[in-house]
Structure 1
Amino acid sequence: MRNSITAGMLAVSCALPGLALADSFNATVVAGHPGVFRWVKMVDEAFVPGVNAALEGSGHTMSFDGQYGGSIAKVGDELETVEAGLAEIGICQSLFDPAKLAVQNVTYYTPFVNDDPRAVSDLMDELHKSDPRMTEAYTQNGVVYLGAPVGIDDYLLMTKFPIADLGDLDGKKIAAPGPAINWLSGTGAVGVSGNLTTYYNELQAGVYDGVIVFASAALPGKLYEVAPYVTRAGLGAQYAGALCANADWYDDLPDEAKQALHTGADAAKEWYLAALEGAVETSFKVMGENGATITDASDEMRAAWAAGMDNAAKTWAEGLDGQGIPGSEVLSLYMDTMRGEGATPLRNWDQE
């Protein structure tokens, strides 16, 4: 009887090739940063519920295991971890993986362009979905772009000393993430590579005199305790990464599950941006209440800063061109699209 039932099920399956059998899938999600940061919170708060909601009625289910704070992948190692199949999904951070996700760092080479994280996130998400030059790096590294861009609010300076003009930065050790070190060229400051996981302790120990950071991370990181002078200079909102999936695992999923992952990523993007916009205002308020001195750089200081910088964007783009990567094309694509959306850059990095 058992054999008859099995044969009958196979016959039905063959007769109805469009009929998908129910499956349960498991996915480990990795992030090098701990769960206190918003781009990690979005996984459990919005991505997972979004995927589950999209799968309702499909007959498929998906379970997730979040492994954050470097438990499996350190900051910048997320893509390699997903590529190797040690996790199915990760927050692939282009900011800390510039060799493999080169063109994704275009925003970090173009400061003083747009300080609106929603505008930057929407644009980068759309470019990834519409232009194959933006996703080629994912394909080459065995992963798939899902979405949920990690938009970063306008970068600013947090220092142990007040800043009235650029001369105050001369000789000071300022930490910055990845290519943001280039923003210090022409200021007289000494750029030091760093990231949010170490900023507090190294500021406290005197390794740095200040950091380039953004308000929504400065508050949970309590950086105002060790660098109480906050200078808003309009360095710009940025794109730092997105959710990616192991390509082999993704390719084996039924279409309903694939679409659910992208739907969940869209939900995470909206949750993240809404939460971020509220958090920026709150961050400045709370830091001020806790003793931080918050000032806005003058237009003259901002103009002098932008004018004095090396055009690292052109150097970066041309270096990628020499490797067969469309750096100059992506630089022009980003800047042209930004200007088309109404942005007024302090420097047109692609046109010099």
Structure 2
Amino acid sequence: MQRTPIRAAIAALAFTLMPTISYAEEINVTTVAGHPPVFLWVKTLSETFIPSVNAALEGTDYTINWNEAYGGTLAKPGGALETIEFGLAQVGIVSTLFEPSNLSLQNVTYVTPFGSDDVDLVLKTVDQMHDEIPGMRTLWENHDLEYLGGAFGLEDYLLMTKFPVTSLKDMEGKKINAPGSAVTWLENTGAVGVSGNLTTYYNDIQTGVADGVIVFPTAASAAKLYEVAPYVTRTHFGAQYAGGIAVSKSWFESQPEPVQAAFRTGVKAFAAAYRTGLEERVKNAFATMEKGGATITELPASEREAWANALPPIAQNWAHEQDELGLPGTEVINTYIQHLKDAGVKLPRDWSVK
């Protein structure tokens, strides 16, 4: 009879000494990108950003159940902003290149051609400008998005043609494919800009609709444009900022601090991995084009300057349009150009000068 209380005491003591089993809270998160994972920015989102966030959450009370929606499964190219804004996804790659109205200020690099060919410098600069110019963040916030950074972009644009180009005169009367706002890079040069995209370039050149194209190396190599436009002229139109990682602002602000911190850690890992991966891809692209029979040359510095100065005041026209809309267009142009100058970039044309 005396053993019962003793046994009860031992059982109670054993229970208190048992390890406490805790279960992490699982948060459902959908990531979105309009392009498929074959594109480096999407591949890096999946293979670097997500694992980095998971690693940062280890040891916390939270885990994430990821739903990855890429390549048109949830949003087409250019549709990620609306997808996040409407709550169909919580985080994703937003291509500002496809948002000339909603995210107009983020397209500053496309109205300042012949800038820097240093992708790392261009991306870091535009990321930094988001902290220097509140109006740039406001454009994201207008759609309930928060820009986390992780800028991605495209390497130094160049010219590919059916004919050799050694001077601006060689462009006279030639029809050149160009993407979106890059058509303005051909104004007053004697060439005729023909709007197009990666899906049409090869056929346009092959059929005579165009005599060449303004394009970036990795895309040119993948599309085998060197087969129809074997003259590759490194004009150094400049590297371009094309977007970054954004989250639903209202959703993000409702998340616990460890989750927010993990996302920011993931963004930093994404940025570093993307730039390293891009460097390797660019190197391979030139090797592939050369092996495929392309003739790769540099446009002389004097001709590059002549080309830049032949263009209309693209940047100032754009800045004026933004200013008229109540946006800090002039401030964005001046800040961007000043950053390039401070970094030692020798610009053939100062776009901050009227």
TM-score, normalising length: structure 2: 0.88
Deviations, residues 31-51 of structure 1 (Å, cap 9, x unaligned): 222221111111112111111
Corresponding residue of 2:242: 240
How far residue 285 of structure 1 moved from its aligned partner, in angstroms, is 1.2
Deviations, residues 79-121 of structure 1 (Å, cap 9, x unaligned): 1222122222221111111101111011111111211001111
Equivalent residue in structure 2 for 1:283, among 263, 282, 285: 285
Corresponding residue of 2:90: 88
How far residue 244 of structure 1 moved from its aligned partner, in angstroms, is 1.1
How far residue 209 of structure 1 moved from its aligned partner, in angstroms, is 2.6
Equivalent residue in structure 1 for 2:211, among 198, 209, 227: 209
Report the structure, 1 or 2, having the larger strand content: 2
SS at match of 1:154: strand
For residues 36 and 164 of structure 2, the distance between their equivalents in structure 1, rounded to whole angstroms, comes to 31
**Residue 273 in 1 paired to residue 275 in 2?**
yes
Corresponding residue of 1:307: 309
Corresponding residue of 1:59: 61
SS at match of 1:148: strand
Does the aligned pair in 2 maintain the 1:175–1:194 contact within 8 Å? Answer: yes
Corresponding residue of 2:71: 69
Q: Unaligned regions of 5+ residues in structure 2, if any? A: 1-21
Kindly tell me: are residues 177 and 26 of structure 1, through their superposed partners in 2, closer, same or farther at Cα, counting changes over 3 Å?
Answer: farther
SS at match of 2:197: coil
* Aligned partner letter, 2:94: C
* Aligned partner letter, 1:248: S
Q: Which has the larger radius of gyration?
A: 2
How far residue 313 of structure 1 moved from its aligned partner, in angstroms, is 0.4
How far residue 201 of structure 1 moved from its aligned partner, in angstroms, is 4.3
Q: How does 1:188-227 map to 2 (within 5 A)?
A: 188-227=190-229
Kindly tell me: are residues 227 and 90 of structure 1, through their superposed partners in 2, closer, same or farther at Cα, counting changes over 3 Å?
Answer: farther
For residues 29 and 200 of structure 2, the distance between their equivalents in structure 1, rounded to whole angstroms, comes to 29
For residues 199 and 171 of structure 1, the distance between their equivalents in structure 2, rounded to whole angstroms, comes to 18
Corresponding residue of 2:6: none
For residues 132 and 316 of structure 2, the distance between their equivalents in structure 1, rounded to whole angstroms, comes to 24
Q: How does 1:123-134 map to 2 (within 5 A)?
A: 123-134=125-136
Corresponding residue of 2:300: 298
How far residue 222 of structure 1 moved from its aligned partner, in angstroms, is 2.5
Q: How does 1:303-342 map to 2 (within 5 A)?
A: 303-342=305-344
Corresponding residue of 1:8: none
* Aligned partner letter, 1:210: G
TM-score, normalising length: structure 1: 0.89
How far residue 314 of structure 1 moved from its aligned partner, in angstroms, is 0.3
Does the aligned pair in 1 maintain the 2:34–2:79 contact within 8 Å? Answer: yes
SS at match of 1:237: strand
Matched residues, number: 333
Corresponding residue of 2:149: 147
For residues 202 and 31 of structure 2, the distance between their equivalents in structure 1, rounded to whole angstroms, comes to 26
Does the aligned pair in 2 maintain the 1:95–1:177 contact within 8 Å? Answer: no
How far residue 156 of structure 1 moved from its aligned partner, in angstroms, is 0.3
Does the aligned pair in 1 maintain the 2:26–2:62 contact within 8 Å? Answer: yes
Corresponding residue of 1:24: 26
Q: Unaligned regions of 5+ residues in structure 1, if any? A: 1-19
Does the aligned pair in 1 maintain the 2:305–2:349 contact within 8 Å? Answer: no
How far residue 166 of structure 1 moved from its aligned partner, in angstroms, is 2.0
Name the Cα RMSD after superposition.
1.9
For residues 30 and 209 of structure 2, the distance between their equivalents in structure 1, rounded to whole angstroms, comes to 36
SS at match of 2:308: helix
For residues 208 and 58 of structure 1, the distance between their equivalents in structure 2, rounded to whole angstroms, comes to 57
How far residue 162 of structure 1 moved from its aligned partner, in angstroms, is 2.4
* Aligned partner letter, 2:255: L
Kindly tell me: are residues 204 and 328 of structure 1, through their superposed partners in 2, closer, same or farther at Cα, counting changes over 3 Å?
Answer: same
How far residue 258 of structure 1 moved from its aligned partner, in angstroms, is 1.4
